[in-house]
Amino acid sequence: MDWNMEAEKRKDRLLADLFALLRINSVKDLASSEPGKPMGKGIAEALDYMLELGESAGFRTRNLQGYAGYAEYAPSESDDYVAVLCHLDVVPASGEWTTPPYEPEIRDGKLYARGAIDDKGPAMAAFYALKIVKELGLPAKHNVRLILGTDEEHACDCMTMYRKLEKPPLCGFTPDADFPIVRAEKGQINVKIILEAGEDSAAQSSRCEFYLKSFIGGGTANMVPEKAEAIVQGEAASLEALAVVFGTYCKEKGLAGRADREDGALALKLAGVSAHGMEPQLGRNAALELLHFLRRLSLQPDAERYVACVNDHLHGDCLGHAFGVAMSDDVTGALTINTGILQYIPGEESFFHLNLRYPACGTSSFILENISKRVESYGFHVDTPILKDPHHVPDEHPMIRMLQRVYEEETGLPPTLLSTGGGTYGALIPNGVAFGMEFPGTKSTAHQRDEHVEIEQLLQATAIYARAIYELANLDFDASEVGGWKA
């Protein structure tokens, strides 16, 4: 079977359908939530669009109260199925894009749009792969279900609902990471560290040279902040001197920043480099760099505690050393910490948010206990966390061996087994892995401005997925290899 030829035959239709999907702004928007549209109107529109495509292709479809949906190829009389899990929600399109993020455009063989690689492009590749299998009339022992999630970038409430309403698959993969095969994922902790406001008197604040009126950095937990701003009040002469010192700081550190006078205050603005929260070392956190500058100032007591705590534990350290939680193992690598949302506003909630990825050798309880001990001395407390356990499918599992063979034969590349700090749907199902869609040597643009996918790789992935789906649908399973929903 020439799977690449089958994908190439469907190129124009695939791209047309993908363009339409990419034009939908499917960022989670609870302000527009309503019954049947729990994640907001944009995500609901994207889900409806994909289910309509599924119906047109002759698949069995179901909308699960707007939380998720699926398109199923069901040649088998059994209700067992294998799964391909994709998500339709995207992160906000921050930063200055070359072309509008929801107006897809092809330039130099690359398709640019928010969601092109995370995860609408891969979702459409998987959809067309399933179409290839169906249209060729290939036999299948198991049904194949393309599951469409809506909340992967946040709390995965979509999969929580899916697990309540549907039986688990035999196994499956998600096209939401890297090729060859990601068979292990780090655990995750998402948590707010909240400042307990003190009783700063006017007299206390008056003894400080500057008053921090507000500090805002980032806005998405799993992204490295590329912008931050602090509004500082003080005497006119002090603010003038501060603007000069800030300019010198930016120049010395190689940072893009500026100081603007605004109504008797100084707005200190700093730009960094965004990156995915699972690899904070690849970005430059604008919020942490700005707080590092503010650490030298004489501020009101609450502001000084806020700045000190964040700076002392996170500036220049994304591995958890300052929190006493640094760790690593051979399967999943080192612990990483990203702080993607930071806010200090007197009289309102002041906090910083941690998006922490930890290896299989660690536990969330140990990590949270250590963080809590250290932030308490600065007057902070740890809010209720959202937790995700580490995940690992044994290397000898028949699905792993099959995917390795398919990948190697279709690409000629070694089928190395990988781990990731990212969280995918693969960790939420029994025997779940991530299988592409980013190829080795490709620089990821997920969660970044000018996100894109190479069209040649999109088609190659479609071919790989078509063959993998066919072979997965005919895989024999041992009872010991089939499990229920993961806890």
Residue 306: which H helix or E strand, with range?
helix 301-314
Q: Which of 436, 484, 442, 443 is nearest to 463 (CA)?
A: 436
Contact 473, 144 (CB under 8 A): yes
Residue 330 catalytic?
no
Q: What tokens does 486 get?
A: 């993961």
The one catalytic residue in 17, 89, 304, 454 is: 89
Whether 77 is a known active-site residue: answer: no
Single out the residue of 308, 282, 234, 273 nearest to residue 246, CA to CA: 234
- Beta-carbon contacts of residue 312 (< 8 Å; ≥ 6 apart): 322
Q: Find the angle CA(11)-CA(16)-CA(21) to the nearest 5 degrees.
A: 125
Do residues 120 and 90 touch, judged by C-beta distance below 8 A? yes
Q: How far, in Å, CA of 371 to CA of 373, rounded?
A: 6
| Token pair 């002469």: residue | 237
Q: What is the Rg, in whole angstroms, of the alpha carbon atoms belonging to the chain?
A: 24
Catalytic residue among 6, 119, 151, 152: 152
Nearest to residue 3, comparing CAs of 175, 174, 146, 128?
A: 128
Rounded Cα distance between 301 and 419, Å, is 43
Name, in order, each residue with C-beta under 8 angstroms of 477's C-beta and a sequence gap of 6 or more. Answer: 170, 171, 398
CB 273 within 8 A of CB 284: yes
**CA 189 – CA 197 distance, rounded (Å):** 24
Dist. CA 306–CA 197, nearest whole Å = 10
Q: Cβ distance 399 to 174 under 8 Å?
A: no
Tokens representing 144 are: 């194949």
- Report the DSSP pairing between strands 172-174 and 432-434: parallel
| Catalytic center residues | 89, 152
